[in-house]
């Protein structure tokens, strides 16, 4: 029997609908959550990401500002902008789109963001709150993964969960969130001995290492839930033929569009061995912007919540 597909687009729409209700409630109390998106340079992918984030803000009725600065911007000038945004009460969330140009010290800039406005969840204070299970802002992709599991009826409590990848953005925070949801968690990486055998222990398997179709059938416990975080672009027939067992349909799409997306999991193997899995595209990806919007609303509540209560 084929695995159940966990539809990220459907779950995103559910979250957006709920956020609409929360935003109307905040507006009734005189508060319009606001997001500032900072874009430095002319990275085409970053331009698309920021445009989509601002467009989503507009569709929800959030206040948004897109701040675009040239590629020769210095660390000092960017720090001045962050300090200004930190001081503005109408801005609840600050997003500095990565990557920044090489002359900018990204770490210094990100750590200058007020943790109360850190909607990406990257600040050391946000990380500390996550580790301790305290209220705060959680990285968007890991938060989206938990929403997929929760809203799809996948039991985390008591489950064996394996995370492949130890990045600060996805691997470590999703492992911590799974732990807070009472899963027993193993984090794997490039130095893990007999990685396929360890991965097969997972009733929940999260693949987040950024290598196209790295996770094959030998990594997947039959019936497991597989969460594929990877987004890898294939542009040659050779790549497609190397990855897919039955490449004909994917090759046709490649010839039509010039490229195709594949995750970190071999999709045919996931369909055959998993009990449920997230497709690429249409799985984890749609949740990332949804959770950014959710974090912006959450930041407004945490920062200005006493005013909401006073007017309720």
Q: How far apart are CA 145 and CA 43, in angstroms?
A: 27
**47: annotated active-site residue:** no
Residues of the chain with CATH 3.40.50.720: 140-287
Question: Three-class SS of residue 149?
Answer: helix
Q: What is the pLDDT of residues 23-48, one digit of tens each?
A: 999 999 999 999 999 999 999 889 99
- Active site residue: 53, 172, 221, 298, which one? 53
30-116: CATH topology? Rossmann fold (3.40.50)
Reported as a single tens digit per residue, the pLDDT across 206-221 is 999 999 999 999 999 9
Helix axes 8-28, 140-151, angle to 10 degrees: 110
The packing angle between helices 285-311 and 140-151, to 10°, is 90
Task: Kindly report, residue by residue over 122-131, the tens digit of the pLDDT.
Answer: 999 999 999 9
Is 53 catalytic? The answer is yes
CA distance 266 to 215: 6
CATH classification of 140-287 is 3.40.50.720, yes or no? yes
In the predicted structure, residue 250 carries a pLDDT above the cut 60 = yes
Candidate list 120, 228, 264, 269, residue with the active-site label: 120
* The two structure tokens encoding residue 92: 């609840």
How far is the C-alpha of 227 from the C-alpha of 208, rounded, in Å?
9
Distance CA 222, CA 170 (A): 24
Give the containing element (helix H, strand E) for 261: strand 260-262
> How many residues comprise the chain?
312
| Residue owning tokens 């430095």 | 40
* Residue of 66, 97, 114, 269 marked catalytic: 97
pLDDT of residue 307: 59
pTM score, two decimals? 0.94
**3-class secondary-structure state, position 198:** helix
pLDDT at 310: 43
Q: Where in the chain is the domain with CATH 3.40.50.10860?
A: 30-116
Residue 309 pLDDT exceeds 70: no
CA distance 184 to 170: 17
Average pLDDT of the chain is 95
pLDDT in tens, 142-190: 999 999 999 999 999 999 999 999 999 999 999 999 999 999 999 999 9
Instruction: Verify whether residue 22 is a known catalytic residue.
Output: no
């Amino acid at each position: 029997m084929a695995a159940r597909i966990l539809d990220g687009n459907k779950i995103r729409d559910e979250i957006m609908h709920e956020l609409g209700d929360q935003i109307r409630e905040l507006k009734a109390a005189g508060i319009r959550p606001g997001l500032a998106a900072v874009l430095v340079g002319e990275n085409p992918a970053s331009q698309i990401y920021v445009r989509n984030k601002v467009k989503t803000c507009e569709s929800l009725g959030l206040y948004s500002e897109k701040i675009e600065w040239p590629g020769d911007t210095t660390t000092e000038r960017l720090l001045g902008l962050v300090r200004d945004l930190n001081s503005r009460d109408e801005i609840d969330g600050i997003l500095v789109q990565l990557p920044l140009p090489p002359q900018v010290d990204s770490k210094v800039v990100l750590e200058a963001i007020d943790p109360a406005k850190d909607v990406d969840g990257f600040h050391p204070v946000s990380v500390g709150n996550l580790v301790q299970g305290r209220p705060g802002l959680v990285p968007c992709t890991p938060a989206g993964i938990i929403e997929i599991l929760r809203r799809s009826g996948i039991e985390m409590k008591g489950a064996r969960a394996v995370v492949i990848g130890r990045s600060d953005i996805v691997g470590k925070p999703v492992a911590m969130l799974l732990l807070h949801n009472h899963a027993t968690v193993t984090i794997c990486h490039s130095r893990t001995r007999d990685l396929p055998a360890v991965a097969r222990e997972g009733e929940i398997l999260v693949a987040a290492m950024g290598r196209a179709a790295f996770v094959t059938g030998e990594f997947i416990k039959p019936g497991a839930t597989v969460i594929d975080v990877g987004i890898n672009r294939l542009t040659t027939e050779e790549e497609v033929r190397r990855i897919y067992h039955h490449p004909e349909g994917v090759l046709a799409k490649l010839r039509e569009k010039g490229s195709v997306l594949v995750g970190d999991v071999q999709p045919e193997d996931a369909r055959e061995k998993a009990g449920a899995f997230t497709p690429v595209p249409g799985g984890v990806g749609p949740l990332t912007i949804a959770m950014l919007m959710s974090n912006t609303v959450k930041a407004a509540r945490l920062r200005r919540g006493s005013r909401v209560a006073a007017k309720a």
